[in-house]
Chain A
């Protein structure tokens, strides 16, 4: 549990961080909250020779809500997300999810950027970002580019981000309607055994479903955006039978693995129950 030797850098601008990253190349890693990278380093599963800590870069810490779009700086902590009154009102699922990440100490340190950029299938924010149809901004030597969250994750710890890019900000639309983030875990601080993010909006007729979005966490080596299930609820409305059909569709799209949280059959069954609950809760909040 003692990391190898590394140089520690603390740039105070994004440009300086990017310059360092490009100068140091593959030997460098960008450090946000450190909850994934530092344990990996202590286990010597990661042995970067240079750590570029982004914490002094104030430009990466912001929450702005402008013209129905939320912009969040990558170094915004989960605590800051929880604490932001307007965000809690305009996109309440952010607060509900953040409160289920780690524990208060972790949330003071953990950042949204680190959570989405690392590509750890256990992290909660990637699934949520897919549910919200968020867009990530990546800054590289050639300037900025944008990647939708739904296209960002390739495999566990593999993402569309190039090693020489820094994920600087995230944007997603405000969401009216019902929401739910349901997460089953073994204890506080644990990754999900199964988790589901659901957004639903009622149509003007007061009964049919105008909008649905479902994504799932830690049930495959990437987050799973359940496009078919979302479309199904939108087409058929939210009824007992459509919920079951949507849940079946979700479960068909996941690929959980057997681990200490349980065997595959259990995970599928629990995930179905979690998703069912999330849909019902979200619909009850519309």
Chain B
């Protein structure tokens, strides 16, 4: 062997496999403006669609006069519900088992609802034409408060199902009531609440917000009438499911539909659902025989597509006097807007809200969720979280603080006292989950030590003293959060969307010269799949990540999968990738043994090659094996080197983390300044630490936005008050603090490489952490809880109510 032969370590490094901070291969095109997004797609003869939207939150549509619009030169068609009805497309099913109007069918139920779809030769003509469509409305009483939905005299919103006493998720008790979902033991929990030495109660509201990706939603539908094929480009987080739904809705055979998700400029749950714009662009293309593009603008995005959260969570938590938690009770009033369009696995109408026992060993618990219709936009998507996990984490992390106040105990100590212990895993929670793994005490203690927690509390006490002495108008808040997520949906036995099991897939082809392409059922929206999935494969099959192309998003080429959301890509498609890689390696082993003229079991895997046991100088690299698979007749082995894996995860994964935030608050202006933010994440095996850090920074910044001001607010008439980025808070670099990231590594025992997913952790853990800091600052002055968003005026109001301005 020559002296220059690379060492095993060098060969390992050359792969850029697991654990490498490999630079993102996507960034070359993104940073140079060379991405290809839906709005970049221009097809010959393409037409443009635009919506006439309702300015009213609740009204009958008396008439729609399209004649003036149709008379405008360049206008090709104006679609209304009447035009869609013969195709049975004036309504469409939602992901939550409800149905939603595609175009207003007799009435409108929220401001911004789609009333008519104008199709024109240019985007500008379409915009001119929508002003010419005359819609006559008869205004109705508006319902914006979910707690008034079932009062006598409340308007009935969904007249189409007013008499239905049974919905997709069981009995309905009122025309404005959608479902009641119950988990856990009601009587046992209530009996604990009755007898427990200490019970803390609070109403915790997680306000309505919006994922607001930089790229709004849109689609280009192109119906080829000659060969009967429909091609649909769109902002889809789940392109394969969209194909199936499009086929079922339109009656076009599934093989005649090709769905393509090109580059997607952020999703965060906003692009999971099916929107009227997609349907209308398809219908318009079928009608006109020409491609039709629909891309919503920012205001339409905020007003009509997929809000998130809006959960009123009434909580009760019982404990002993020394702080051992005995039971947890939660009743949630879920404001779903006009249609139940939540993006949840079918059997989970409130998503995974039943992870709300959090990181704590709580023996008995009960959760009930009531879904309610109001005159607001539909949605209820998982905004950078796994199906209501963020709501659950916010609830329990606020309730822990509320309990700590009641017990007059330090909230960090209360957490330590109640964490599920390492040896309790796998842990069966009172609300039905099996936590796969965790080591909370280690993470928590590491976090407390990193921020010098004891010293922070001492400093805070000094600050309170100075405030009371009139020496400062600033308060200091210490926000704590230990969250446990449940991600990676999910096992087909209990997780499906519209009947499709939530597996995922990977298909690998090794080329003769030893490079490869892998295609997956997921679709990156900024997560960096092209980078990280190649790294998983590099470690599995010994081909450098740089030599592996990753492709997703084209249903004609990629294997079927359920898409990217809920931190499921790494736990599910990442597992499929590893498993497909292992199939490749198994075949490669046979080929290597044949080439080396030994028995299959006499070779062993070593980084990037098979080596004859005991004879390290005799080996075949993956490159050699790949070439042989194409040019040699190997007895009993098919030519080529390909594999496909469909992975049905045996369980979810349970990432966790310990976050601490230190914040200064000016009680007179309500302004805040984040002094320090420490984020420890345990996402199991770390594939690309740099991408993890980027994910954490991004997610924390979204969490900051939500906690400190980002909301979709309505006035009492159902008008959207936060319809532009002037009022809908998106932080810039200026508002974004420095973050310190850290980690522990507790691999998932059931995942092929032990990875758990990380994209959503910082949003899930960040929101309670920021909010707890605000609440904590006012704790010495008697505050138990104040609702988000903590924008300047609300913080000021909190201070004002506590008498701090007197």
Contact = CB atoms under 8 A, between A and B. Distances in A.
Interface in B705-745: 709, 713, 721-722, 726-727, 729, 731-732, 734-735
A123 interface: no
B623 interface: no
A269 interface: yes
B731 A187 contact: yes
Chain A interface helix/strand/loop/mixed: loop
Contacts of A2: 50, 123-124, 126-127, 297
A187 B734 contact: yes
A8 interface: no
Chain B interface helix/strand/loop/mixed: loop
Contacts of B729: 186-187
Interface string A230-272: 0000000000000000000000000000001111011101101
B792 A188 contact: no
B669 interface: yes
A273 B668 contact: yes
A260 B796 contact: no
Given A184-B671, A187-B732, A266 B124 contact: no
Contacts of A270: 668-670, 792, 796
B606 interface: no
Interface in B110-135: 123-124, 126-128, 131
A261 B127 contact: no
Interface in A68-120: 103
B793 interface: yes
A274 B670 CA distance: 12
A187 B725 CA distance: 11
Nearest to A271: B669
Given A5-B128, A184-B669, A263 B732 contact: no
Given A2-B124, A2-B127, A5-B124, A262 B732 contact: no
Contacts of B796: 262, 266, 269-270
B299 interface: yes
* Range, interface on chain B: 20 to 34
A260 B50 CA distance: 29
A193 interface: yes
B797 interface: yes
Interface string A156-195: 0000000000000000000000000000101111110100
A5 B129 CA distance: 12
Given A186-B709, A193-B792, A260-B727, A269 B805 contact: yes
Contacts of A103: 732, 734
Contacts of A5: 124, 128
A25 interface: no
B324 interface: no
Contact of A263 (B50, B734, B793, B805): B793
A273 B669 contact: yes
Nearest to A47: B131
B791 interface: yes
B799 to A, nearest CB: 10
A186 B791 contact: yes
Contacts of B727: 260
A162 B203 CA distance: 56
A1 B297 contact: yes
A262 B671 contact: no
B298 interface: yes
A265 B791 CA distance: 15
A3 to B, nearest CB: 8
B128 A4 contact: yes
A2 B127 CA distance: 6
B732 A188 contact: yes
B129 to A, nearest CB: 11
Contacts of B126: 2
A265 B731 CA distance: 26
A4 B669 CA distance: 41
A262 B668 contact: no
Residue in B123, B124, B128, B669 whose Cβ sees the most chain A Cβ within 10 Å: B669
A44 interface: yes
Contact of A186 (B50, B127, B792, B800): B792
Nearest to B794: A262
A269 B734 CA distance: 25
Interface string B763-802: 0000000000000000000000000000111001100100
Contacts of A266: 670, 792-793, 796-797, 800
Contacts of B797: 263, 266
Nearest to A267: B793
B510 to A, nearest CB: 47
B459 to A, nearest CB: 24
A188 B709 contact: no
Nearest to A273: B668
Contacts of B128: 4-5
A228 B681 CA distance: 57
B721 A260 contact: yes
A184 B123 contact: no
A270 B794 CA distance: 12
Given A260-B727, A269-B805, A274 B792 contact: no
B333 to A, nearest CB: 25
Interface in A8-30: none
Contacts of B731: 187
Given A2-B127, A270-B670, A184 B792 contact: yes
A262 B792 contact: yes
Nearest to B711: A260
Contacts of B299: 1
A191 B797 CA distance: 21
A262 B709 CA distance: 12
Interface string B649-667: 0000000000000000010
A103 B791 CA distance: 21
Contacts of B671: 184
Nearest to A2: B127
Given A2-B124, A270-B669, A270-B670, A187 B792 contact: no
A272 B735 CA distance: 24
Given A5-B124, A262-B792, A274-B669, 11 more contacts: A1-B297, A2-B127, A184-B792, A190-B726, A191-B726, A266-B792, A266-B793, A266-B796, A269-B805, A270-B668, A273-B666
19 contacts: A1-B297, A2-B50, A188-B732, A189-B732, A191-B726, A260-B713, A260-B722, A261-B792, A261-B793, A262-B792, A265-B800, A266-B796, A267-B793, A269-B800, A270-B669, A270-B670, A270-B796, A273-B666, A273-B669
Interface of A: 1-2, 4-5, 44, 103, 184, 186-191, 193, 260-263, 265-267, 269-270, 272-274
Interface of B: 50, 123-124, 126-128, 131, 297-299, 666, 668-671, 709, 713, 721-722, 726-727, 729, 731-732, 734-735, 791-793, 796-797, 800, 805
Rank and list the top 8 A-B pairs by shortest CB-CB distance, nearest first. Answer: A262-B793, A2-B127, A1-B297, A273-B668, A188-B734, A266-B793, A260-B727, A270-B669
